[in-house]
Structure 1
Amino acid sequence: AATSEQCSLADLGAAFQASLERLGFRYFACCSRIDPRDPPAAALLLHNYPPAWAQRFRAAGHFRLDPVLQLAERSPAPFFWDAAFATRPITKRQRGVLDEAAGYGIAHGYTVPLEACGPAGSPRASCSVVPEGGAIDPRSYTTVQLLAVYLYGFARRARLQHSGAVGAELTPRERQCLELVACGKTDWEIARLLGLSPCTVHYHIENAKRRFDVITRIQAVVRA
C-alpha cells in the first residue's frame, strides 16, 4: 500500500502537471540525479514522461550520460536546453541522448536546478519542463521556477519528516518574513504589511538564511 507521503506527493504532482498544462507545457520531470533502477529512499522521482521513454532511459543507463542532468548538477541557475547545448560542448553519446529524447517529444526544455532533496548527503535534484509546441509567454518560465521550488519544498519536508531530521528553528518574525517572500513580496512591501522598517525585514531574512546556511532567499523559503 502507498504511504500517505507518497499519496500526497502524487496529488501534488498531479496539481503541478495541471498548472503546467495551463501555461502551455506538456511534460515535466522533477527528479534526483540517481540510478532510477535502484533509487535511494531520499530520492525525488516525479514525472509524466511517456512510459516508453522512461523505460528506455532506465534500461539504457542514460542517467549516466544525460547532459541536462549533468548541467543541472553544476549550474546554480535555470537554463534552456537549446541555448545551453548550443554553446557548451557535449559528447556524441550525450547528443545521442538528446536526439533520442526528442523522438519521444522531449525537446526544447527548460530546467530549474534544485538543492538536494532530503537529509544531508541526499542527491541533488532538478525540475525540467517541455513545451507543448506553441509559443510560451516568457513570464511563464518564472512561474515554472516558483512552482518547481514549491514542489521541491514539499518533497523535501516530507523526506525530512519521514527520516526524523529536524530543521533549523526560526523566530516567528523570521518565519513571517519568509512566508511573505514566498508570496513574491519585496522588503518594502513586507515592511508595510508587518509594520517594520525595510532594514529590519532585511535583517530577519538574512538571519533566516544564516540559520539554514543558504545563499539565496528562495533557498531559505524552501528550507522553512
Structure 2
Amino acid sequence: MHVEDIYHLLATGACPEACWGAARRYLDHLGFDRVIYIAQNGVADGPSVRTTMPDGFQSFYVDNGYAQDDPFLQYCLTSPVPVDTGKAHMNQYAYLTGRQKDLIAAAGDAGFNAGFSVATRYPTTRRPEGWNLGSSQSMHEVEAIKGAHLAQIKPVLFGLSGRLATDGPTVVLSPRETQCLDLLSAGLRIKVIAMELGIKPVTVDMHLSNARKKMNAPTTKYLLKTYWDAKARRHGREVHGRDVTGAAE
C-alpha cells in the first residue's frame, strides 16, 4: 500500500472502511502493527475507535472501563506535538497513575511496545481526533521509523481526519440471539452453545442466522465484528477494525 493510494481514496470519496483498510496497511508496512485511532464524535458521545490491537486487549479495555483513565485520551489527544507512547517509554512520565501504568503494561503485553501519538484535530474544535501509532518493535527502531517517515505520515493522517468515524444504525437483538453471540464470541462452537443454553444446535443456527440478517452480515466473522462494535457503542466506545478469529464461516 502506497501513500498515493490513500490520497486517491480520499479524492474519490471512498467509504470509511476502505479508508481505514488502506491506512492500516500503509502503517503496518512502515512497521506500526499496533495502531489505535480515536475520534470524539460529539460532546455527549463516547469516542469512536478503530484499532489493530488484539481482541483480548480490546475486551480487557472495555470490561475494565479504561476510557476513564486512558492517558492517551488525557495527554496525547490534546497535544499538538507527537508524544512518545508505549511500555518502552512509560518511565518517562512520572505523572501517570498506577491504573494508567497498568493499562500501558497490558498494552505492552499485547504487543504495543513503543510508539507515538499524532493529534489530527485539536480540542478547540471540541472534537479531538488522533492516532496512537504503536509497534512491537524496539524503541530505537520506532524512533528510526519516525525520523524517516513522520513528514509523510502526518499529512496522510490529517487527510483522513473526519473520514473514519461512523455511527451505524441501532440493531435490536433478542435475548437469545445475544446469548448465542456472546458464547460464540467466547470461542464456543455451535454444539457446545446448544448444550450450554439447553436448546438444539439447529436453534442456535436459527438465532445466529436471524442476527446476521438484522446486522446485514454476510459471514459469522463479520457478524461478530459488527456485534462487538455495537456492544462497545453502548458503553460509549465504538470499536472498529478488529480481526475476529476462530469463528466458523
TM-score (norm 1): 0.54
In structure 2, the residue matched to 1:104 is 110
2:31 equivalent to 1:27: no
In structure 2, the residue matched to 1:53 is 57
Give yes or no for contact 1:26–1:131 (8 Å, CA) kept in 2.
yes
2:84 equivalent to 1:80: yes
Q: How does 1:57-206 map to 2 (within 5 A)?
A: 57-81=61-85, 82-83=88-89, 85-116=91-122, 120-122=125-127, 124-133=128-137, 136=141, 138=143, 140-141=145-146, 143-144=149-150, 146-156=152-162
2: distance between equivalents of 1:101 and 1:75?
A: 21
Measured after TM superposition, the shift of residue 105 of structure 1 is 1.4
2: distance between equivalents of 1:93 and 1:145?
A: 34
Measured after TM superposition, the shift of residue 98 of structure 1 is 1.0
Q: 1:158 to 1:86 in 2, by over 3 A?
A: closer
Aligned letter for 2:145?
A: S
User: Residue 37 of structure 2 aligns to a residue in which SS?
Assistant: strand
Q: 1:146 to 1:58 in 2, by over 3 A?
A: farther
Q: Which sits farther off after the overlay, 124-133 or 78-87?
A: 78-87
Measured after TM superposition, the shift of residue 29 of structure 1 is 0.9
Q: Which sits farther off after the overlay, 11-20 or 126-135?
A: 126-135
Please list every run of 5 or more consecutive structure 1 residues that lacks an aligned counterpart in the other structure: 1-5, 160-224
Q: 1:130 to 1:92 in 2, by over 3 A?
A: same
Q: How large is the Cα RMSD of the aligned pairs?
A: 3.5
Q: 1:88 to 1:34 in 2, by over 3 A?
A: farther
2: distance between equivalents of 1:154 and 1:74?
A: 18
Identity %: 16
In structure 1, the residue matched to 2:25 is 18
2: distance between equivalents of 1:91 and 1:34?
A: 27
Give yes or no for contact 2:89–2:114 (8 Å, CA) kept in 1.
no
2: distance between equivalents of 1:24 and 1:52?
A: 21
Measured after TM superposition, the shift of residue 136 of structure 1 is 2.8
Q: 1:146 to 1:63 in 2, by over 3 A?
A: farther
1: distance between equivalents of 2:62 and 2:142?
A: 33
Measured after TM superposition, the shift of residue 114 of structure 1 is 2.3
Q: 1:88 to 1:150 in 2, by over 3 A?
A: same
Aligned letter for 1:32?
A: A
Number of positions where the alignment pairs a residue of Structure 1 with one of Structure 2:
149
Measured after TM superposition, the shift of residue 64 of structure 1 is 1.1
Measured after TM superposition, the shift of residue 152 of structure 1 is 4.3
User: Residue 30 of structure 1 aligns to a residue in which SS?
Assistant: strand
